Amino acid sequence: MSQTFVRTEKKYLLSEQQYEDIAEKLKDYVEPDKFFKGNIRSIYYDTEKFAMIRRSIEKPKFKEKLRIRSYGDASADDRVFVEFKRKLDGIVYKRRTKARHEELLKDIKTAQFKDEQIGNEIRYAIDQYQGIKPAVYIGCERYSYRAKDDDSIRITFDKNIVYRMKHLSLNADPMDKSVTDKIVMEIKVAEAMPLWLIEILNEVKAYPRGFSKVGSAFEKEIKEIRNHE
């Protein structure tokens, strides 16, 4: 499987009350997506000095992310998604294919991709990053919706977001630590956001803000290390 996405993505950090209010107001406009509820497992790749994550934290106009992802725990032989994302001025360009979990953890550059053209694009894109390897695991519970009248409008809610930076695999682990107690809402649209959605966001006072799960996890880990020095 190979896929290409170009869309606008906006994130919102919600309290439990805001989440409940939005969920109630959305009922007339959205319906559960095909894969409504799932456990998202992701591993983000980076260099020894976390060059990609550090750049993301600076909130530049252009940034890149390389990750692998499964929907639930993954065995060594499972084919999981490989995603390379570029974001420029709020527009996201994503290339995605699949490869074996075990091969990706060992060395993503030598993995056998389901779509070799995309695989070669990924290898070419990450050649600028020396020593890239699995760096941070992020897990969460995800609830996905789509607009009833427009399949290109998707809204997801991520809860119980956790991370770890050791013993990395696409599986939950007792070592997982919380990233935030907030709920992350993400709105993905191919064109302009519809008026009904803008009105709902204004009613509950939900405003877009830059938030990176992996960036927040990295900053939290650094702070924790410094507190123990």
Q: Give me the pLDDT at residue 130, please.
A: 84
The per-residue pLDDT for range 33-54, each reduced to its tens digit, is: 988 999 999 999 999 999 999 9
What is the distance between the alpha carbons of residues 119 and 218, in angstroms, rounded to a whole number? 27
Please state the rounded mean pLDDT for residues 72-90.
Answer: 92
What is the distance between the alpha carbons of residues 70 and 145, in angstroms, rounded to a whole number? 19
Please state the rounded mean pLDDT for residues 176-193.
Answer: 94
CATH homologous superfamily, domain 3-227: VTC, catalytic tunnel domain (3.20.100.30)
Q: What percentage of the chain carries pLDDT values higher than 90?
A: 73
Per-residue CA distances from 22 to 59, 141, 197 (Å): 27, 18, 10
For residue 154, how many other CB atoms are within 10 A of its CB?
19
What is the distance between the alpha carbons of residues 92 and 81, in angstroms, rounded to a whole number? 17
Q: How far apart are the first and last CA of the chain?
A: 46
pLDDT higher than 80, residue 6: no
User: Does residue 149 sit in helix, strand or coil?
Assistant: coil
Average confidence score pLDDT of the chain: 92
* Residues 57, 176, 157, 6, Cα dihedral to 10°: 50
Q: Give me the pLDDT at residue 3, please.
A: 60
pLDDT higher than 80, residue 1: no
> Residue 177: pLDDT band by 50, 70, 90 thresholds?
very high
59 exposure class (CB count in 10 Å sphere: 0-12, 13-18, 19+): exposed
Please state the rounded mean pLDDT for residues 179-201.
Answer: 94
Please list the residues that pair with 193 across neighbouring strands. Answer: none
> Residue 4: pLDDT band by 50, 70, 90 thresholds?
low
Please state the rounded mean pLDDT for residues 71-89.
Answer: 93
Domain locations along the chain: 3-227
What is the distance between the alpha carbons of residues 10 and 185, in angstroms, rounded to a whole number? 8
